[in-house]
Structure 1
Amino acid sequence: MAKPLSFSAFVMNTPSHIVHGLWRDEAGNQINYNDVELWVKLAKQLEEGGFDAIFFADVIGLYGNYGGGWEFHAENGLQIPSNDPMVLMSALAVNTQHLGLAFTAAPLQEPPFNFARRVSTLDHISKGRIAWNMVTSSSENAFHNFGYDDLIPHDERYRWIDEYVDVLYKLWEGSWDEGALVQDRKSGIHADPSKIHKINHIGEHYKVEGPHLVAPSPQRTPVLFQAGASDAGRDFAARNAEATFIVAPDPENARQLINKTRSLALQNGREADDIRFYQGLSFVIGETEAEARQKANELDQKINLDMMIAHMAGGMGIDLGNVDLDTPIENIKTEGIRSTYEWLKQSTPGRTPTVRDIALLRTSASRIVGTPESIADQLEIWSRAGIDGVNVINATIPGSYAEFIDHVLPVLRRRGLAREEQGNLETFRKKLFGSDRINERHPAANYRGAFTLENTVK
């Protein structure tokens, strides 16, 4: 029997996020990314339409050079300008009631004590609807922006984030016991200090005394998302994530990735269902298959291929800006692109893949084109492969989401692939897992009661 999928809107507070160049289109209202009303209206539309969350990607530095410099990114709006999504969360929190509010942030950006304080404050404001996408940041420019001479090596970044989340878990789960907040007007006692604890963390990167300055929020720890696809990233997800974003090229590859990560979770003392998997997909919807294909062709004409290549190659540290689009990939001498070569060959049978194919495949590999009924057929296949939700990628805001809500979600509901209604007011974690608080198998739970005098003496 089909299970209802969870739907998240994948956005970014910037003019051009994933499908590049559409800010120039008349329907591309993301050109108004600085206008808070754009995001408030979108959040309300998503909530009313049945989405579970809005997820904001983020960067804290430029992508790698394209054509010998970074000017291309600014000229074309390739994730610059880019605003801070955590600030925007407050506005969305007070204008919605059900919608989960997820944002991206890396340890590089902020010490854990202040980050924990801001997240807990947002969780209070939203009444328990905050989620954090845990990333390490792979941008050289980002590290330069925060005072580093070089990008820290990949696996070392994951050792860093291991300590970062450890400090956060101590603050969120261990610093305040249940019942510490008394607020008794008659006795004059606001909080019981015997139930509030300093964490006295001393580690390689951080020295944090505590206590946490914010009383426990509805979720304490926000819902924890993760998006890393490397071995180190999957291992981190298996230990820490409650949900992970994936961009598998097809359902079978998704099945393999999901099974591997769930197996790793079991090895770490968790259950396979402790992690939810959201596949990134975009949709082109038509009343007929022919109309959908025509709309897809029209969309392709509007996409800026140079921007697509600059985004992908820049994230890999490769400058393809001076390379002709019809250059065969095999002629590019860099190890960074070897990992995608076999996939490109499989996607271009009978010919040698080119640089242009990188851009075309990036736009089409995660795209489903068809009628609402045929899109539902495809989502059933993805569901059987093991995904729990879809991270819906937009071409335009709000158009991509309005079309999906109006035309696809009703079909999915009839098939049991989408929830019928929002239900009662509840935290984001309760919506996903049936409980406000992180479960006892998660490493964060180890710090509940860990700093009481009795446990400290032991």
Structure 2
Amino acid sequence: MPSQREIRLNAFDMNCVGHQSPGLWAHPRDRSWQYKDLDYWVDLARLLERGKFDGLFIADVLGVYDVLNGNGEAAIRQAAQVPVNDPLALITPMALVTEHLGFGLTASLSFEHPYPFARRLSTLDHLTKGRVGWNIVTSYLESGARNIGHKAQTDHDVRYDYADEYLDVVYKLLEGSWEEGAILRDRERRIFSDPSKIHNINHHGKFFDVPGFHLCEPSPQRTPVLYQAGASSRGKQFAASHAECVFVAAPSKALLKKTVADIRRRAAEAGRDPHSILIFNMQTVIVGETDKAAQAKWNEYKSYVSYEGALALISGWTGIDFGQFKPDQIFTYSQTNAIQSVVEAFSTADPNRQWTVEAMAEWVGIGGFGPLMVGSAQTVADELQSWVEETDVDGFNLAYAVTHETFTDVVELLIPELQKRGVFKKEYRPGTLREKLFGGDARLQAPHPGASYRIHAGQSVEAGEKVA
């Protein structure tokens, strides 16, 4: 019997051309070149809400994929995530035309101080009425680090030490600076906010000194839903402590099952319910009215794939120049300071498979690093259910081959099939994004570490420490 667990779905996009399918921007029905137009994003948001998607997960990089052949020319030619615009400005207009759709914002904590960034989060949470999430990333492109004045990218694991303190500062600002009841809006007494209920956080740490109080009044969720997209050992440790949703990109069931079990084990060791974390795998689906129609669509799409663009992405993700390898060369493990989980997945993670460079490029050509499913709605639904049943994953971040066509096919063909099987919601839950995903409260709850920073009436903050 296939799994009857509810399947969660996010759409996966980026404020750029092509995103995870290098070369497909040239397809005559692809709209990704319109990424710079509001109509593109407003149309997408309306489509996803019609399909009852949980959210739109918006990727981002601050830098260029310039590892292949030691320069960024291939990425530039093939629009491999360049040009790329800032994702934050997309969310407000999409929120205006939807009522329920969530928005997962990717923002690197390596490139912005937590004090102004916390204000951006609160602003978005207010404007979306609590429908925003933050995908916490530490960044992996050397080009991004150099362009903000760093000589090189910080060591991989040190970036997560930095991230731990960054989250401490954000929690203190969002959760601990303003008490409930600090906003009075008392017109008669002419008092808008009560100063006695607004506290300096007095943070003095290894990486940051932030003495003052948060500039924003508490938003519907205070802390947005926390996503995390690192699958290295150190990344999974960070996720077990902080993440409410984890985004991974395992290319096989065997690797995904191992990754999911490891994240849940670490969450339990951190004192959290292992299933309080929702885990999403990156996946791409090509759906047709029949299996034959879907296969024909796939073959059409494949004719547009850019081998050079795929190598530019893989080289950037791994930090390894694949221009130095022959297409039939088998890839073996190499230590890297970029995305370690990608290196491991293509080398040591699955002992039953060896990857040539050409096979890696073909795999990445449609949908990036995640697996691809092709077939009728019934065939793809069977496969998605089997992945949930066999790996314990909660859902999928669906990348596109051709946009918005891929998502339109999902909404019009696949989701009705999943709903018919009772494994996909027919209506949204009310409330904020956190309430829609988890039920319960709009705000972080114990034992999540962020909840321990919250100040209650009669308590005080001493040196910015957690509140018991």
User: How would you bin the TM-score normalised by the shorter chain?
Assistant: over 0.9
TM-score by length of 2: 0.92
> Who is 1:281 aligned against?
283
Residue number in structure 2 paired with 1:381 = 386
**Aligned mate of 2:140, from 130, 138, 141:** 138
Q: Secondary structure at the match of 1:109?
A: coil
Instruction: Name the aligned partner's letter for residue 452 of structure 2.
Output: N
How do 1:259-408 residues align onto structure 2 when only pairs under 5 Å count?
A: 259-321=261-323, 323-325=325-327, 327-329=328-330, 340-341=346-347, 346-347=352-353, 353-363=355-365, 366-384=371-389, 385-408=391-414
Which of 60, 69, 72 pairs up with 1:70?
72
Q: CA deviation at 1:334?
A: 5.4
Q: How many residues align?
A: 451
Describe the shift of the 1:155–1:53 C-alpha distance in structure 2 as closer, same or farther (beyond 3 A): same
Letter of the 1:276 counterpart: L
Letter in 2 for 1:421: E
Q: State the shift of 1:67 in Å.
A: 2.7
The aligned counterpart of 1:228 is 230
- How do 1:8-19 and structure 2 match up within 5 A? 8-19=10-21
Q: 1:147 to 1:383 in 2, by over 3 A?
A: same
TM-score (norm 1): 0.94
Q: Is the 8 A contact 2:9 2:55 kept in 1?
A: yes
Distance 2:377 2:231 in 1: 30
Q: How does 1:23-172 map to 2 (within 5 A)?
A: 23-172=25-174
Report the AA paired with residue 92 of structure 2: S
Q: Is the 8 A contact 2:141 2:316 kept in 1?
A: no
Determine which of 433, 441, 452 is the counterpart of 1:428: 433
Q: Could you tell which deviates more after superposition, 232-241 or 312-321?
A: 312-321
Q: CA deviation at 1:386?
A: 1.4
CA contact (8 A) 1:112 1:164 kept: yes
Answer yes or no: is the 8 Å Cα contact 1:413–1:419 preserved in 2: yes
> d(CA) in 1 for partners of 2:320 and 2:456?
47
Gaps in structure 1 of 5+ consecutive residues: none
1:89-109 deviation line (CA, Å, top 9, x unaligned): 122222221110111111222
- AA partner of residue 330 (structure 2): I
Q: Could you tell me which residue of structure 1 aligns to residue 340 of structure 2?
A: none
Structure 1 residues 333, 370: closer, same or farther in 2, change over 3 A? closer
What is the CA deviation profile of residues 105-139 of structure 1, one whole-angstrom value per residue up to 9, with x for unaligned ones?
A: 11222110100001101100000001000010111
Do 2:174 and 2:223's aligned partners in 1 also have CA atoms closer than 8 Å?
yes
- Structure 2 counterpart SS, 1:278: strand
C-alpha separation between the residues in 2 aligned to 1:167 and 1:207?
9
Deviations 1:143-180 (A, max 9, x none): 10111011110111000011101100000000011111
Give the Cα–Cα distance (whole angstroms) in 2 for the partners of residues 74 and 324 of structure 1. Answer: 22
> Relative to structure 1, is the Cα distance of residues 412 and 143 closer, same or farther in structure 2, using a 3 angstrom cutoff?
same
**Inter-partner Cα distance in structure 2 for 1:274 and 1:334:** 34
Superposed displacement of residue 440, structure 1: 1.3
* Paired position in structure 1 for 2:425: 419
Shift of 1:25: 0.8
In structure 1, what is the equivalent of residue 450 of structure 2?
Answer: 444
**Distance in structure 2 (CA, Å) of the matches to 1:13 and 1:370:** 28
- CA gap of 1:50–1:201, structure 2 versus 1, over 3 A, is same
Residue deviations 1:293-335 (CA, integer Å, cap 9, x gap): 222222222111221121012221222235443x3226x8955
Partners of 2:49 and 2:100 within 8 A in 1: yes
Q: Alpha-carbon deviation of 1:452?
A: 6.3
CA distance in 2, matches of 1:70, 1:263: 40
Contact 2:66 2:73 in 1 (8 A): no
Q: What is the letter of the counterpart of residue 321 of structure 1?
A: G
**Distance in structure 2 (CA, Å) of the matches to 1:196 and 1:22:** 51
Counterpart of 2:214 in structure 1 is 212
Q: 2:79, 2:61 → 1: CA distance?
A: 13
SS of residue matched to 1:284: strand
Per the alignment, in what secondary structure is the counterpart of residue 289 of structure 2?
coil
* 1:243-265 deviation per Cα after TM superposition (whole angstroms, max 9, x unaligned): 00111223343222112111111
Aligned partners of 1:423 and 1:299: how far apart in 2? 36
Q: How far apart, CA to CA, are the structure 1 residues paired with 2:39 and 2:216?
A: 29
CA-CA distance at 1:196 after TM superposition: 0.6
Q: Deviations over 1:21-43 (max 9, x none)?
A: 11111111001111111001101
CA RMSD of aligned residues (A): 2.1
Aligned to 2:303, what secondary structure does the other structure show? helix
- 1:354 deviates by 2.9
Aligned equivalents of 1:191, 1:247: Cα separation in 2: 45
Give the whole-Å Cα distance in 1 for the aligned partners of 2:122 and 2:220.
9
**For 2:81, what is the secondary structure of its paired residue?**
coil
Whole-angstrom CA distance in 1 between matches of 2:156 and 2:335? 16
Q: Which has the higher helix share?
A: 1
Contact persistence 2:254–2:350 (CA under 8 A): no
Specify the code of the residue in structure 1 equivalent to 2:396.
Answer: V
Determine the C-alpha separation between the residues in 2 that align with 1:165 and 1:452: 25
The more displaced of 333-342 and 291-300 is 333-342
